[in-house]
């Protein structure tokens, strides 16, 4: 049995207003009763403080932060601000930011380093496009992305990696268990080449169309230590079966 606790994280993306705090409360209640699984929610930045105020024991994260400590960056949010609002973690390098906002590996790495320095745990996302997978280049691409995005130094207990194939995000087209296992093994090997035995401590999450029906099979697979869930994390009814699947393993 792995020493890595399962980690189930919801990414609400650009969804949610204060009317949805009740959903978060219902999720947090089940999470607090599930002592074998770590659960977190990453709401939009506007909800971090109200959620953290209402759910003091629950783990809340940001979806992105700026790589600078502070300054003239209109519209951006710093890691320290997220922490001040009550966040304990932050997602960096999501493909919707790499692709949609032009974030390079170097920027993602700088964000991860800033977040760790300012007291936030980090979920670092990597993943390939459909064209790269179809070209047979997925493992090379994703492991290179990881190597170039990893912070220069880090505490392995404070970093998780999320493998999110872009073509599986929001499409219902979940990756096969075989493909996820192969990619996670490659990611683990990349981590080991950087940090040696400590690589075994880092949790590797899968993301991309995870739901209550497919979670159990994915979460039971080798090196799949959790899930980063988008659409199915927006309501307690959809998210709780994923937490329960993790708890049942
Ligand atoms: O991008 C994701 C989580 O960060 C996955 O989104 P979906 O679960 O909606 O496919």
CATH annotation of 59-237:
3.20.20.70
Rounded average pLDDT over 108-114: 98
pTM: 0.97
The closest-lying atom of ligand 1 relative to the alpha carbon of residue 96 is 1
Compute the distance from residue 59 Cα to the ligand 1 centre, in Å: 19
Rounded CA-CA distance 180/90 in Å is 23
Indicate the top mutation candidate among 41, 208, 219 to test ligand 1's pocket, ranked by most ligand atoms within 8 A of CB: 208
Q: Reduced to 3 states, what is the DSSP secondary structure of residue 159?
A: strand
Tell me the average pLDDT of the chain. Answer: 97
pLDDT of residue 110: 98
Domain residue ranges in the chain: 59-237
Ligand 1 shell residues, CB under 6 Å: 11, 94, 164, 169-170, 207-210, 228-232
95, containing H or E segment: helix 95-98
* Nearest alpha-carbon partner for 206 in 27, 1, 9, 34: 9
Beta bridge partners of residue 227, listed in sequence order: 8, 206
| Catalytic residue numbers, as ranges | 94, 164
Question: What would the pLDDT profile of 17-29 be if each residue is shown by its tens digit?
Answer: 999 999 999 999 9
Q: Is the dihedral of CA 144, 146, 149, 152 positive or negative?
A: negative
pLDDT digit string (tens) for 34-56?
Answer: 999 999 999 999 999 999 999 99
Over range 151-171, report the average pLDDT. 96
Q: 188 alpha carbon to ligand 1 midpoint, in Å?
A: 22
- How far is the centre of ligand 1, averaged over its atoms, from the C-alpha of 195 (Å)? 28
Q: What is the DSSP letter of 13?
A: -
Binding site members for substrate:
11-13, 170, 209, 230-231
Q: Which residues pair with 123 in a beta bridge?
A: 91, 160
ipTM of the complex: 0.99
- Residues 230-243, mean pLDDT to the nearest whole number: 98
């Amino acid at each position: 049995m792995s020493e890595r606790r399962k980690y189930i994280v919801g990414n609400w993306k650009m969804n949610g207003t204060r009317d949805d705090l009740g959903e978060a409360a219902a999720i947090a209640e089940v999470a607090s009763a599930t002592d074998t699984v770590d659960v977190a929610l990453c709401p939009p930045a506007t909800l971090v403080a109200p959620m953290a105020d209402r759910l003091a024991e629950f783990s809340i994260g940001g979806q992105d932060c700026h790589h600078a400590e502070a300054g003239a960056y209109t519209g951006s949010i710093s890691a320290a601000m997220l922490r001040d609002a009550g966040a304990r973690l932050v997602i960096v390098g999501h493909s919707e930011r790499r692709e949609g906002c032009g974030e390079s590996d170097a920027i993602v790495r700088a964000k991860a380093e800033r977040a760790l320095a300012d007291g936030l745990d980090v979920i670092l996302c990597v993943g390939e496009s459909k064209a790269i997978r179809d070209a047979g280049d997925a493992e090379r691409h994703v492991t290179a992305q990881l190597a170039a995005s990893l912070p220069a130094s880090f505490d392995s207990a404070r970093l998780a990696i999320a493998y999110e194939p872009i073509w599986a995000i929001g499409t219902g087209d979940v990756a096969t268990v075989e493909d996820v296992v192969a990619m996670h093994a490659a990611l683990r090997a990349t981590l080991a080449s950087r940090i040696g035995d400590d690589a075994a401590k880092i949790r590797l999450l899968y993301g991309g169309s995870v739901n209550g029906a497919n979670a159990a099979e994915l979460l039971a697979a080798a090196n799949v230590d959790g899930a980063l869930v988008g659409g199915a994390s927006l309501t307690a009814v959809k998210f709780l079966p994923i937490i329960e699947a993790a708890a049942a393993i």
